[in-house]
Structure 1
Amino acid sequence: MSHPNRAPIGLAVSALLALIALCGACDRAEPEPPRPNQPAEATPDALPPGQRIVSFVPALTEIAFDMGLGPRIVGVSDFATWPPEPIKALPRVGGLVNPNLERTLALTPDLLLASPTLEAVRELGEAQKIPVVAPRTESIEDIYAAYAALGEATGERARAKEAAEALRRELEALKGATKATGDARPRVLLVVGRDPGSLKGLYAAGPGSFLDELLVLAGGRNALPKTESLWPAISKEYVLAHPPEWILEFNASPTADPEVKTREAREAWAAMPSLKAVKAGRVRGLTGAHLLLPGPRVAQTVRAIQVILGEGR
């Protein structure tokens, strides 16, 4: 039996998992687009940092917009997609693997949003004396903490608290709607990476990852045991040793067709016909840029999983 591969992952999957790390009312489909801020009465010299924000992390960009800081954002990551209309008009500054520091400086930012591992941006901030906010985004609690960090850095603590509490209430309501408990919860394999047309290059969301937390809120349980990595590389043999009742494949492309991705997933997993999930036709493809982002739209991911798992009950 094979075990999860804990060796350093390839560049493509590194970019995907980096996006993951960068990556309300109960009935809202997604956070409302922000309203423009009121003009500040203080002089420019008296304003706190965060009047010209450049964000290298899509999840933090979405959190900032959810707090109503959209008018202050002057540059975003190549992978930022929400809110659609404001994002289209903003300059792009690269991403985790290719931050464009020259373009960033040209935007004259007074606050940089980054990930804890983005050393180039941290060093830029130190050299240019620009504050850098780089919170962890590996769990639901980390998301709430990211709101607080942005609120502290921008002088918008009240807005941050209000937005975070709205998200907390939304997730609590979804949790309350889940009736399955214990062994009654289906075992689900959360696939976040796979080579096209095959079962090679498999990566999954393991126990303790934010996607695993969303699965639990949706009424499922992770088919995999806890490993050293939150996003382990796995083999077909390892899947056989921990057989899932559902296989959910996540695709972060904002334009991917879920029906097409479901068909492709089923064709690939047909190579393992003995799996209960394959026998029962319980293989699904989920698409959307928000699915792998630990930000304000995580409730949409919970709802999407709830709908799918409800088909088997």
Structure 2
Amino acid sequence: MNFAQLLFPDFSLILCGYLVCRFTALNRKVWEQVESLVYFFLFPVLLFHSIVKSPLDLSAASSLMGAGLALGVGGIALAYSLPHWPWLGKKIDVRLHAASAQVGFRFNSFIALALAEKLAGPPSLLMIAVLIGVCVPLFNVGAVWPMARHANKGFVRELLRNPLIIGTASGLIANLLGFSMPVWLEPTVNRIGQASLALGLMAAGAGMQFGSLASAKTLGALVLAVKHLGMPLMAFGLARLFRLDATQTTILLMFSAVPTASSCYVLAARMGYNGPYVAGLVTLSTLLGMVSLPLALGLLN
């Protein structure tokens, strides 16, 4: 399978978002509203529908959930270990690291959801929804905790209000209770899902900016290495350790290699850290995803 060709349409939408934002009247202020629409409404609906439309076998999904959680813990530990590395650790600004370490383990759910079904068919949407459900709380704790002393809001409340967690948790509960989507509502929900993927990818492109990356090149290179090399290699090992099947392995590898979350810079800026620097790392991560995804899906898979 030619993964580069398979991924091209989605990265074309990211490029379209970048060009539209930079060279038309549809500037960053417009795309901030689009991001909010996708994040708070369209994506939660997609996640809920992806979970409830297929029976959930928790015993069958337990290995994938375990591998996802182990991958998350490993990524967080690796990202936060950087200041303690011999020689390189001395070159890292501790405060800047606290803001940017999240880039090394978080993921862009827009891109993950858009790619899942293309890679492994309809069942993969349920798998990626399960991974999002178990990993988003873990990753958000990992991202917020080191910066929490500078925030005005408790991170527990922020987690409970996360729309992706709400959409996934409500979908899991509805699935286990035997709920099924009414037939008359299916077409509307399907179109909402299609719109969320296209707009989400374009919003990821519109959010790209290179900012002030030159201020800490060593830290940036290490954080991006954790995300685009360390995470896929860990996923490769965990897929074998947990004895995942071919489809689960593909989804876990894709999950490990997608670009980091575009909301990283929003969180850093909101908590009083260097937002422009983190935004630059997010931009580079989006570009590096064009390399790490074919690497993970082609060579490792």
TM-score (norm 2): 0.24
Question: Which structure's residues are more often helix, by fraction?
Answer: 2
Larger radius of gyration: 1
Question: Which structure's residues are more often strand, by fraction?
Answer: 1
Q: Which has the higher contact order (CA 8 A, sep 6+)?
A: 2
